[in-house]
Amino acid sequence: MTRLFKRRQFIQGSIGAAAGIGLSNLRAQARKLDYGANEYIEALVIGSGFGGGVASLRLGEAGIETIVLERGRRWTITDAGNTFSPYDKIDGRAAFLSPTALFFNAGTPIDVYAGILSGKLGVGNTIGALNGAGVGGTSLVYGGITSQPTEKLFHQVFPRSIKYSEMNSIYYPRVRSILKATVIPDDILQSPYYLSSRIFLEQAAKAGLKASKIPIAFDWDIVRQEMSGQKKPSIISGQYYYGAESGAKNSVDRNYLKMAEETGYVEIRPLHIVTEINEFGNGLYQVVCGQINEQGEVLAQRNFICRYLFLAAGSIGTTELLLRAREERTLRRLSNQIGFGWGTNADSITTVISNRQTNPTLGTPGVVAIEHLDNPIAPVLLEPFPIPSVPQGAAVILGQGITKPEGYFTYKAATKSTELFWPANSPNNQKLAKAIQYTYKLLTEANGISLAGPTDFSSTGHPLGGALMGQVCDTYGQVFGYRNMFIVDGSMIPASTACANPSLTIAALAERSMDRFLNYVGKRSRNR
């Protein structure tokens, strides 16, 4: 079963290779080009994932001229069903400017291309962090899961000044309504494609563990069209991670960003990689980026001047931009806490072996989940995680919990790059490993099943932190020391979203931030 997740192959043969031809090479190309004239725009959003999507829509609705810069390309669903890389024949569309695949079939040589999945390798091979690249950001590659943390666990992570009652009554529902996140309908759950999810529910019941459906941002009518043969199978075949060919996934490009562009005030510019953020005087910011083609070649250098700057490049991207700006002294007043407080949402992968015959590669992840929140060691969340090449009788499960913000980034001035450090064997991470082992022991003993091997904590699809609220910015994302600069992504979240998948909380906090920002802008306009 070790072939399911070849840890060292994933780390050494993929993310490391991608980094070698990545941003430092782009900067080297960019230095050969003239900067040209600055382009002024009232608001600039860096990144187009959950936070960037929220910011761009609310700016557009307010009539504020906005440009969204996205490093990846735009992915348009085709009727032919050939938009994304297939799992069984990986190609360049699967990874962002990497010579090898990053996750499934990690290390497989591919053409260097502006593909959909990106990653960063931690120093010492302790962690590999994955995120999305393209218009829609990580929403392009996530499983659609929009789980909400409980109030009790929410306040284990977030300060009391963020009122859970407000999140629960306003912001979480607002995001779910736009993403159209609902639980799986019974007719689909009862289909052959979701047999493994039904077995998962049975096993949880036998072990006395709470399990239930959770909201998923899918168009279930399109899933039904997949089942009837009208659409190319993607959701029902578990091929969702490189994008869903059928169009059933309600990724941010299909709602928030689409609505933002429809306001007439928002323009999205794909294939623009931001390399610098500078003060420009008079409260303005200069953002420098390289405009690339789909093979990663720099075509032109672009400079933008903006009044309002929204950082939405994700935990890794935003942290790196701010850390570089501080160390290169282009934003001198930034907090010395930038780069600290990073974490993995306690992501883990476990393979369970049983005598039940079911195709474990069918169906999407997280339509159901075990919430072992009263685990006596630490709270645990478990979700089925179908992946390619899993044999009959096996099931892969994604675990999550509450990890401490113990990771950190450092800056290498010689290469103008960052390094990520993650203490995999810290006392807290050992505690989390014991907690998940406790839950699996209940499952295995009650159902006569076994684990294929130790739980693997060496990769995460939910990187969080690096520019924490309370240290780098306030709880609304306002960056300390810099008026009109805001963080609206997972980099301001302290390593965990309280035993829930991060997407819903990231977007809800961004909605909260934009409400505050637009209220401020409105008051400022009235006082002129």
Q: Is 328 among the catalytic positions?
A: no
CA–CA distance, 180 with 174 (Å, rounded to integer): 10
Q: Is 462 among the catalytic positions?
A: yes
Which is the catalytic residue, given 70, 226, 276, 462? 462
| 32-to-25, 288, 299 alpha-carbon distances in Å | 12, 14, 11
Beta-bridged to residue 68, according to DSSP, are 45, 268
CA–CA distance, 189 with 216 (Å, rounded to integer): 13
Beta-bridged to residue 113, according to DSSP, are none
Residue ranges of alpha helices (H) inside 91-247 are: 151-157, 164-166, 172-179, 186-189, 195-206, 220-228
Q: How many CB atoms lie within 10 A of CB 281?
A: 9
CB 44 within 8 A of CB 306: yes
Which is the catalytic residue, given 383, 406, 419, 445? 383
CA–CA distance, 337 with 339 (Å, rounded to integer): 6
| 241-to-2, 95, 236, 306, 387 alpha-carbon distances in Å | 21, 11, 12, 34, 9
Residues that are catalytic? 383, 462
